[in-house]
Structure 1
Amino acid sequence: MIVGTAGHIDHGKTTLVKALTGTDADRLKEEKQRGITIDLGFAYARFADDAITGFIDVPGHERFIHTMLAGAGGIDYALLVVAADDGIKPQTLEHLAILDLLGVSRGLVCITKADLADPARLQTLSAEIHALLAPTSLKDVEILPVSAATGDGIDALKTRLADAERATTAASADGRFRLSVDRSFTLSGAGTVVTGTVLSGSVAVGDRVTVSPSGLSARIRSIHAQNQQTERGFAGQRCALNLAGESISKDAVGRGDMVLDPVLHAPTTRIDVELSVLDSEPKPLGDWFSARFHHASAETGARIVPLEGPVAPGSRGKVQLVLDQPIAATVGDRFILRDVSAQRTIGGGRLIDLRAPLRKRRTPERLGLLDAAAHPDAGRALRAMLDTAPFLVDLQAFAQDRALSEAQLQAAIRFADAEMVESPSGRHALSRENRQRFSSEVHNLLETFHADNPDLQGMGRERLRLQVTPRLPAPAFLTALRAEQAAGTVALEGAFARLPGHEVRLNAQEEALYNQILPFLQGENRFRPLRVRDFAEQLGVDEREIRRVLKLCARLGRLDQIRHDHFFTRQTTAEMVAIIRDVAAKTQRGEFTAALFRDRVNNGRKVAIEILEFFDRQGVTIRRGDLRRINPHRLDLYDAASESTAGALSVKD
């Protein structure tokens, strides 16, 4: 359990921690000289069996609220301190407001210096504190008078802390590892050490981690958890990590950084959040209101963009935060906003979307998606998002933004009863209803297209993709179409899709003419076929008729029209793609010239360039100057034809 102190300056927080643990949490020379806490202090004690309770002692001075916030983000239990002789003071109120905004509901109020007050004063102050706590998350906590000077109430406080320690549910270590850094220093003989609270997951000696947002890579050399050396640190513990890695130093890693599982490294500067504004604010928060943003141990400037109109004092609303510096965060994390002069706390809330859009951020669809994503439970959030436009969830982003392990992601998918489409672009989830809707829309769109275009072989895949809901990324869409093809509901032919029963046929006269032409497009001369006008001369048929039949065959997927007068069979086109792949594979960087291709197909330079320009238009090749390279994302256009021409690379070099 991690206990965090809170309360006004000089109300005895550090003295109370020392009475409980025997450790003076004030470690800085200036703290000793001035008698006040300036930076975070740490101490440990055993109250319950073998469990170790960690304490984070925070400054009480208003000038150091930003430091208090750096330590308050990861606490399990709040120890709010109010001095009997001084009573409730401004920082008492602000610290309590911060604990409430952070959602801290477990804790205890200690009336310190109880030896300086009579019973009547203690009773009056207790009543005032009860009234103060009533509207907050700490409304049900106990109030206990104590005195570090006389020892009165200290044993009772230790008993309460022991009970709280036993009642603390171990934080789940199933998620991915995150540690919020609050201190960085160098130890002689060890190197760079960072300390902080483990927010999720676990880490072991030897693990590779990333320091975010900088992106530095490091290895864990050793771990101290709750002030004891160990092989593994877990969520809910304070840990010291000895880091090793290129560029790792105490100056390169510091307060505000996050040490995390490399999978989670995705810094962000634009976040959609749910913001609660304190009723002490003088006016509503409008567009581009400036503030200081505090998250875990990080602090940066922020601009507020309300998504549902200005957020009034004492109310809650969705806003977009535009940060001055990137941070590492997770959906559901709590944050605090203070004014730019660091005089007051404005409000706080929860992070909802770490990939907030710059445009269309206020549309009803966008706000509906934020409502769905706001569910704290991953499974419920996924189910709600799948039922909200755009009815599609990128599972990699979903898991990354919530620090979910693969096991947790699979549990969320099962809870949401989602169907997954896995492709080179990643994994995407749809609800079962929308997966069925996808199949129905594909069938209906193709049916309508065939009715309107009976002479065309099918509908272009990309055109079809843009009309189907949910709109899948191109690689995922192809995967889904292939599943439809396997089920016998769709037929794929290169870049076209059609219904299995649809077939454009040549009449007998057209078929006869095509059969006369076909031999000239095959065999040894398949890479150097005759032009349309040559066919007209050879066969004694009108050139316009030959071109019409050849274009009709291209629509049927039998041929490809490379240029105005040049047609190749689909099998030959696929064979040329295979040759291009082979040519590219034999070059140092996968880049090749037109001459290399020309030599393999043994035709003229002009025809070779026409062929390559055709593949450029198809997206199969990408040209840069005189060099070309393969685009692996478009090779599927000729997969089916390639299978029927296996072994076609017998063309001589």
Structure 2
Amino acid sequence: MIIGTAGHIDHGKTTLVRALTGVDTDRLPEEKARGISIELGYAYLDVPGAKERVGFIDVPGHEKLVHTMLAGASGIDFGLLLVAADDGVMPQTREHLAVLSLLGLTRGAVAITKADRAEPGRIESLTAEVRELLAGTGLAEAPIVAVCAQTGQGVEALRELLFNAARQMPPRAWQGLAPRLAVDRAFTLDGVGTVVTGTLHAGEIAVGDELVLAGRRARVRSLHAQNRVVERAQAGQRCAVALAGIAKDEAPRGAWLTAPHVALATDRFDARLQLWPGEARPLRSGARVHLHLGAQSTMASVAVLDGDLIEPGAAARVQLVCHGPVGAWRGDRLVLRDAGATRTLAGGIVLDPFAPTRYRRTPERLDELAACELPTTARRRERLLVLSQLGLDLARFAQAEGLAEPLQGWALGDEAHAALTHRLLGALADYHAKSPDELGPDAARLRRLVSPRMAEPLWRQVLNELRGRGQVAVRGAFVHLPVHGVQLSATEQRIAQKVAPRLAAAGAEGAWARDLAKDCAEPEPLMRTTLARLAQQGDLHQVVKDLYLDTPTMTALAATVRRLATEQGHVAAAAFRDATGLGRKRAIQILEHFDRVGLLRRVGDEHRLRADSALFAPLEH
């Protein structure tokens, strides 16, 4: 269990931690000289009769150091709020309570410190004041204990209270989740190298693990958890991780140490936000705020998705547009402070780290966010699958959830799959009716006709499934209905064998139907019918009426088009003519054919390559 101390400056947080643990958490010379905590301090205490130990995070109480307090607060399990008997409730008392409450903390206690300085009746009246302060927060039922660190009054009672809380602490759900540690400090040790410290938010870390920190790979060289040397650490523990392959200045506060497959950095995410009841005004769309998430802090802008504002005490879904990349996973807690960093405004929970820039308030998108709020990974996945008409990216889902086991591929719900199949088969039937002499569209063109926003890998997956069930047929990159692939008669097969060498010899110039009929000594009407059937099967290609090229030639021409597009950004008729040695007229005819079938797209006088076109490239199995 991790205990976070909180409270106004000089209310005795560090002194009380020292009385409870024997450890002075003020470690910096300037802290000792000034008598206040500037950085996060740590101490540990063994729980009698148990193998575990509790860790203390001693946070600064000064108003200017609230951002440091927040860096440690996001990983705590139990809040210990201190109120000095001589001062009473002060501004930072209220703000620290707001932070603890907005982070969703429901386990904690209040220590009334410096009890030896209290006048008769002061403890009772202050206890009543504190109880009123806690009302309506997650710590409303927290016990209140009067202590004096100097004389020892109440210290043992508080220590036993913390021990009991640790014994009753439910284990964090770390199994099934990838490791994620929020770095709040980094330093270098002689003979060890770079060491980062932080609270392990999820999963487990073991010596030898390969992890990612700020985009760089690093190996766990050695490991401390709760100030003990260990081979393995689990979520909920304070950890010091010695890393090989990374320098101290490459591990800033706020960075995340994670498993490679869940590492992410987003500049916008959707969340559910609750505005602190004590706020005087609503929070409106467009507000600039300080975002605190994990141990990181950055500026962000708020876009309210449920209406235009959030009233004090109310909750709503929002999109936070960050001024810098942040690590945010579904379920992570966050805190917002105002633009001037003078007060805590709101707290929330991350719903989706992959928030869209467009259509963010549509009913369909809000339904997806409702699915993200379901209580278990399995239920979230099941509901998102039903809602995702364009399919669910399983790898991205696992990344957003921070799952230990990476997922691959795409999934499509039964209803969405049935609707897509219906549209696809209908589109093929229409295509065959309008272009009976063509085998069918290539896979990329068919996607543009049926579901242009669907991801290419999922589209390929669906096509392969339909092909496996015999609902569509594929020849090269072309897709068609099985009934459209007409079998050649014996006569047509004989003519096909005759024309094959002649078309190969004609190359990119192609051959005319009448010339092929004359050379093969076949009736011209029969030759035209046979060539049309061969084109329908994808063996030949009719560039203009009655002019045919074979597939190997068209494949080579398509390769030239792709090369020119890569080199020049587009395909100009003159460049294509020079690259192929064709005349200008034939070069333009071939380019226009590529426009029609979907390999190219005409933009003014230029031909642009369609990046998603697999024309004249084999369909993946």
Looking at structure 2, the residues matched to 383 and 132 of structure 1 have their Cα atoms a distance apart, in angstroms, of 42
Name 2:497's counterpart in structure 1: 519
Shift of 1:127: 2.3
Shift of 1:362: 2.3
Shift of 1:566: 5.1
Looking at structure 1, the residues matched to 420 and 314 of structure 2 have their Cα atoms a distance apart, in angstroms, of 41
Name 2:182's counterpart in structure 1: 180
Name 1:417's counterpart in structure 2: none
The verdict on how the C-alpha distance between 1:534 and 1:516 changes in structure 2, with shifts beyond 3 A counting, is farther
The verdict on how the C-alpha distance between 1:633 and 1:77 changes in structure 2, with shifts beyond 3 A counting, is farther
Name 2:331's counterpart in structure 1: 332
SS state at 1:272 partner: strand
Looking at structure 1, the residues matched to 175 and 380 of structure 2 have their Cα atoms a distance apart, in angstroms, of 20
Check the 8 A contact 1:100/1:138 in 2, yes or no. Answer: yes
What is the 5 A alignment of 1:161-200? 161-171=162-172, 172-200=174-202
Check the 8 A contact 2:304/2:319 in 1, yes or no. Answer: yes
Name 2:206's counterpart in structure 1: 204
Q: What is the one-letter code of the residue matched to 1:497? A: V
Check the 8 A contact 1:11/1:81 in 2, yes or no. Answer: yes
- Deviation string for 1:323-364 (max 9, x for gaps)? 121122212111111112221111121112222222222222
Check the 8 A contact 1:392/1:470 in 2, yes or no. Answer: no
After superposing the two structures, state which structure 1 stretch, 145-154 or 495-504, moved more. Answer: 495-504
Name 1:481's counterpart in structure 2: 463
> Once superposed, what is the RMSD of the aligned Cα atoms?
3.8
Name 1:371's counterpart in structure 2: 370
Shift of 1:616: 7.9
After superposing the two structures, state which structure 1 stretch, 155-164 or 71-80, moved more. Answer: 155-164
Looking at structure 2, the residues matched to 552 and 284 of structure 1 have their Cα atoms a distance apart, in angstroms, of 70
SS state at 1:379 partner: helix
- Deviation string for 1:178-236 (max 9, x for gaps)? 11111111212222211111111122222222212xx1222222111111112222211
Shift of 1:561: 3.5
Check the 8 A contact 1:365/1:389 in 2, yes or no. Answer: no
Looking at structure 1, the residues matched to 453 and 253 of structure 2 have their Cα atoms a distance apart, in angstroms, of 42
Out of 297, 300, 303, the residue aligned to residue 298 of structure 2 is 300
Q: What is the one-letter code of the residue matched to 2:221? A: R
SS state at 2:249 partner: coil
Looking at structure 1, the residues matched to 438 and 252 of structure 2 have their Cα atoms a distance apart, in angstroms, of 64
- Deviation string for 1:571-598 (max 9, x for gaps)? x5699799x89xx9xxxxxxxxxxxxxx
1:44 aligns with 2:25: no
The verdict on how the C-alpha distance between 1:636 and 1:605 changes in structure 2, with shifts beyond 3 A counting, is closer
Name 1:557's counterpart in structure 2: 538
Shift of 1:527: 4.9
Q: What is the one-letter code of the residue matched to 2:41? A: G
Shift of 1:306: 2.2
What is the 5 A alignment of 1:501-520? 501-502=483-484, 514=492, 517-520=495-498
- Deviation string for 1:74-93 (max 9, x for gaps)? 00111111122222221111
After superposing the two structures, state which structure 1 stretch, 446-455 or 288-297, moved more. Answer: 446-455
Check the 8 A contact 1:110/1:146 in 2, yes or no. Answer: yes
After superposing the two structures, state which structure 1 stretch, 18-27 or 322-331, moved more. Answer: 322-331
Name 2:571's counterpart in structure 1: none
Looking at structure 2, the residues matched to 377 and 64 of structure 1 have their Cα atoms a distance apart, in angstroms, of 36
Looking at structure 2, the residues matched to 515 and 319 of structure 1 have their Cα atoms a distance apart, in angstroms, of 65
Looking at structure 1, the residues matched to 261 and 388 of structure 2 have their Cα atoms a distance apart, in angstroms, of 27
Name 2:6's counterpart in structure 1: 6
After superposing the two structures, state which structure 1 stretch, 431-440 or 80-89, moved more. Answer: 431-440
The verdict on how the C-alpha distance between 1:615 and 1:469 changes in structure 2, with shifts beyond 3 A counting, is closer
Looking at structure 2, the residues matched to 557 and 479 of structure 1 have their Cα atoms a distance apart, in angstroms, of 22
SS state at 2:284 partner: coil
SS state at 1:251 partner: helix
Shift of 1:313: 2.6
The verdict on how the C-alpha distance between 1:256 and 1:204 changes in structure 2, with shifts beyond 3 A counting, is same
- Deviation string for 1:538-579 (max 9, x for gaps)? 357897985675345313434233677653455x5699799x
What is the 5 A alignment of 1:37-436? 37-48=37-48, 49-117=50-118, 120-171=121-172, 172-212=174-214, 215-245=215-245, 248-307=246-305, 308-390=307-389, 392-406=391-405, 427-436=409-418
Check the 8 A contact 1:390/1:471 in 2, yes or no. Answer: no
After superposing the two structures, state which structure 1 stretch, 273-282 or 320-329, moved more. Answer: 273-282
The verdict on how the C-alpha distance between 1:182 and 1:439 changes in structure 2, with shifts beyond 3 A counting, is same
- Deviation string for 1:401-439 (max 9, x for gaps)? 2211128x6xxxxxxxxxxxxxxxx51122234334444
Name 1:595's counterpart in structure 2: none
Looking at structure 1, the residues matched to 244 and 388 of structure 2 have their Cα atoms a distance apart, in angstroms, of 45
TM-score normalised by length of structure 1: 0.80
Looking at structure 2, the residues matched to 639 and 126 of structure 1 have their Cα atoms a distance apart, in angstroms, of 74
Q: What is the one-letter code of the residue matched to 1:209? A: L
Shift of 1:448: 5.7
Looking at structure 2, the residues matched to 464 and 229 of structure 1 have their Cα atoms a distance apart, in angstroms, of 59
Out of 481, 497, 502, the residue aligned to residue 479 of structure 2 is 497
| Structure 1 spans left out of the alignment, 5+ residues | 410-425, 585-603, 622-628, 644-653
Check the 8 A contact 2:444/2:614 in 1, yes or no. Answer: no
Q: What is the one-letter code of the residue matched to 2:89? A: I
Check the 8 A contact 1:70/1:298 in 2, yes or no. Answer: yes
Q: What is the one-letter code of the residue matched to 2:287? A: F
- Deviation string for 1:597-627 (max 9, x for gaps)? xxxxxxx9549x9799799878999xxxxxx
Looking at structure 1, the residues matched to 359 and 454 of structure 2 have their Cα atoms a distance apart, in angstroms, of 20
After superposing the two structures, state which structure 1 stretch, 485-494 or 265-274, moved more. Answer: 485-494
- Deviation string for 1:464-510 (max 9, x for gaps)? 4345579642332222222222223332334443443445578x9xx
Looking at structure 2, the residues matched to 124 and 467 of structure 1 have their Cα atoms a distance apart, in angstroms, of 74
Out of 603, 610, 614, the residue aligned to residue 634 of structure 1 is 614
The verdict on how the C-alpha distance between 1:173 and 1:539 changes in structure 2, with shifts beyond 3 A counting, is closer
Looking at structure 2, the residues matched to 118 and 478 of structure 1 have their Cα atoms a distance apart, in angstroms, of 78
Looking at structure 2, the residues matched to 612 and 193 of structure 1 have their Cα atoms a distance apart, in angstroms, of 63
Looking at structure 1, the residues matched to 116 and 428 of structure 2 have their Cα atoms a distance apart, in angstroms, of 85
SS state at 2:412 partner: strand
The verdict on how the C-alpha distance between 1:129 and 1:632 changes in structure 2, with shifts beyond 3 A counting, is closer
Q: What is the one-letter code of the residue matched to 2:363? A: P
- Deviation string for 1:289-309 (max 9, x for gaps)? 211111111111112222231
Q: What is the one-letter code of the residue matched to 2:460? A: L
Name 2:574's counterpart in structure 1: none
Aligned identity (percent) is: 42
Shift of 1:103: 0.6
Looking at structure 1, the residues matched to 613 and 376 of structure 2 have their Cα atoms a distance apart, in angstroms, of 36
